[in-house]
A and B are shown apart, each in its own frame.
Chain A
């Protein structure tokens, strides 16, 4: 599974980073970046929660 952040939506709310710091990092440009190309199975539930709570609905999952 991959997580993709749409940078035309992301405004740096950092809810993703609060929920799964292993996967998301909000950088100086106020945008979130994914740190892992493949999301390990044990983080799946947390990443799904991040998708749900992102205020801009900017995160999508593939695979």
Chain B
């Protein structure tokens, strides 16, 4: 579908085929068309349960502010029917093994208020702006180290191979600070970061053969990595019991009480996994995408170098521009109307955040990358409300630190390849590789 010479229409547009994402990047033109012609659109395509595609900033904002009308407990992310089935089988297996029911929320994103507030509240103080400011200097030191390592790899490659010397930004740079920061906060020892990184990659990228072992299918890869990770978390909990509590997230989870009850070992493990995976699979991609957009817009890069005090707003613009989280899903809890469409209780709605971040009713010249954009009420961290990204400030501080350290290096780089997207992922626009070389 959508051959370049075929006119895009509501009938033929496609925003769910992950192969198209890998080949052409995000379906911006299809989202533009939906926003203009059918902002609340009943989307029916093979391989997916039908859903309401929500593409306007205002509507995503409304849904996010009304968790009582739009629930998280049934299903949270749009996936193709096969991936949904794999998830259901996993829930049944876990319930058989650990007790409870397959309907139990796998982690606290799958909760509505009031439960969601209690469970999120158990860890939220680790992520407040004040908590992050205490880590600011530390992040800056880490970022300096990672960037100088990266710069030296680029120079070595050029010295050895000249024009042919290319370096992968993702693994030599973007991946490092997010793993380090969230693992340190969580209380995961440094010798295990590499392993943790591989588990999070598989969790998001199991649809891509590159993140599976030879002979594994998607379901087997998911089972293996989540099983290994859960056992690792359980050992970590046992170790913390022996060593005593510290200031880390794991200790907080282990000591938290909700309605007088301690969290269960399974909850502790799944919350830890959620936080570490969310910390890893997002900021890495915004960093890579930010490097790309700055290299493609040398005027904006020069502006930032001349006025580094624009860094906070530049980071917001990179977040808007890259829109790494593609969608989350909600289920209507009653019959309601949205822009004249009748939505029935039980029907699902999918909020397309990148589309909100190009909404011409909210952003002037949405397709212009402007590091001074103000206001910039982007939804890169989700719509404002109950489920707004808990790690928003962590991501911001990490990105400020990395781009600050990168400022002297970026003008000496050029892109050597387009970003290569992780196959089969409709939730996060994961970049598995992007090559750069020293500018000649």
Total number of residue pairs linking A and B with CB closer than 8 Å: 41
The interface-forming segment of B102-110, B262-270, B274-282, B382-390 is B382-390
Bound: A53/B381 CA distance, A: 13
| B388/A55 in contact, CB under 8 A | yes
Interface of chain A residues 31 through 58 with chain B (CB within 8 A): 52-57
The interface-forming segment of B124-132, B364-372, B409-417 is B124-132
Q: Is A13 an interface residue (CB 8 A)?
A: yes
Q: What 1/0 mask marks residues of chain A from 1 to 19 whose CB sits below 8 Å from any chain B CB?
A: 0000000110111100000
| A30/B125 in contact, CB under 8 A | yes
Q: With A11-B127, A11-B128, A30-B128 in contact, do A57 and B64 touch (Cβ < 8 Å)?
A: yes
| B128/A12 in contact, CB under 8 A | yes
A57 / chain B contacts, CB cutoff of 8 Å: 64-65, 384-386, 388
Q: Is B117 an interface residue (CB 8 A)?
A: yes
B386 / chain A contacts, CB cutoff of 8 Å: 9, 56-57
B393 / chain A contacts, CB cutoff of 8 Å: 13
Number of chain B residues whose Cβ lies closer than 8 Å to a Cβ of chain A: 23
Point out the residue from A30, A52, A55 that lies within 8 Å of B130, measured CB to CB: A30
Q: Is B392 an interface residue (CB 8 A)?
A: yes
Chain B, residue nearest A14 (CB): B129
Q: What 1/0 mask marks residues of chain B from 368 to 409 whose CB sits below 8 Å from any chain A CB?
A: 000000010100010011101010110000000000000000
Q: Is B121 an interface residue (CB 8 A)?
A: yes
Chain A, residue nearest B67 (CB): A57
| B124/A11 in contact, CB under 8 A | yes
Bound: A30/B126 CA distance, A: 11
Bound: A13/B385 CA distance, A: 12
Distance to closest chain B CB from A33 (angstroms) = 15
Q: With A11-B127, A14-B129, A30-B128 in contact, do A55 and B117 touch (Cβ < 8 Å)?
A: no
Distance to closest chain A CB from B196 (angstroms) = 26
Q: With A30-B125, A57-B385 in contact, do A9 and B377 touch (Cβ < 8 Å)?
A: no
| B129/A55 in contact, CB under 8 A | no
Distance to closest chain B CB from A18 (angstroms) = 11
Looking at B117, B128, B385, B393, which has the most chain A CB atoms within 10 Å of its CB? B128
| A56/B385 in contact, CB under 8 A | yes
| B130/A53 in contact, CB under 8 A | no
A53 / chain B contacts, CB cutoff of 8 Å: 375, 377, 384
Chain B, residue nearest A49 (CB): B375
Distance to closest chain A CB from B110 (angstroms) = 18
Bound: A8/B116 CA distance, A: 10
Bound: A9/B65 CA distance, A: 11
Distance to closest chain B CB from A16 (angstroms) = 12
Q: With A55-B381, A55-B392, A56-B388 in contact, do A9 and B127 touch (Cβ < 8 Å)?
A: no
Chain B, residue nearest A30 (CB): B128
Interface of chain B residues 158 through 184 with chain A (CB within 8 A): none
Distance to closest chain A CB from B108 (angstroms) = 14
| B384/A55 in contact, CB under 8 A | yes
Interface of chain B residues 114 through 149 with chain A (CB within 8 A): 114, 117, 121, 124-125, 127-131
Bound: A14/B385 CA distance, A: 15
Point out the residue from A8, A13, A52 that lies within 8 Å of B129, measured CB to CB: A13
A9 / chain B contacts, CB cutoff of 8 Å: 117, 386
| B129/A12 in contact, CB under 8 A | yes
B381 / chain A contacts, CB cutoff of 8 Å: 55
Q: Which 9 A-B pairs have the closest CB atoms?
A: A57-B385, A30-B128, A57-B65, A12-B128, A55-B388, A55-B384, A8-B117, A57-B384, A11-B124
Extra contacts, 11 of them, besides A8-B114, A8-B121, A30-B128 (Cβ < 8 A), are: A9-B386, A12-B129, A13-B392, A14-B129, A30-B125, A30-B130, A30-B131, A53-B375, A55-B381, A56-B385, A57-B385
22 A-B residue contacts at CB 8 Å?
A: A8-B113, A8-B114, A8-B117, A8-B121, A11-B127, A11-B128, A11-B390, A12-B129, A12-B130, A13-B129, A14-B129, A30-B125, A30-B130, A52-B377, A53-B375, A54-B384, A55-B384, A55-B392, A56-B384, A56-B385, A57-B65, A57-B386
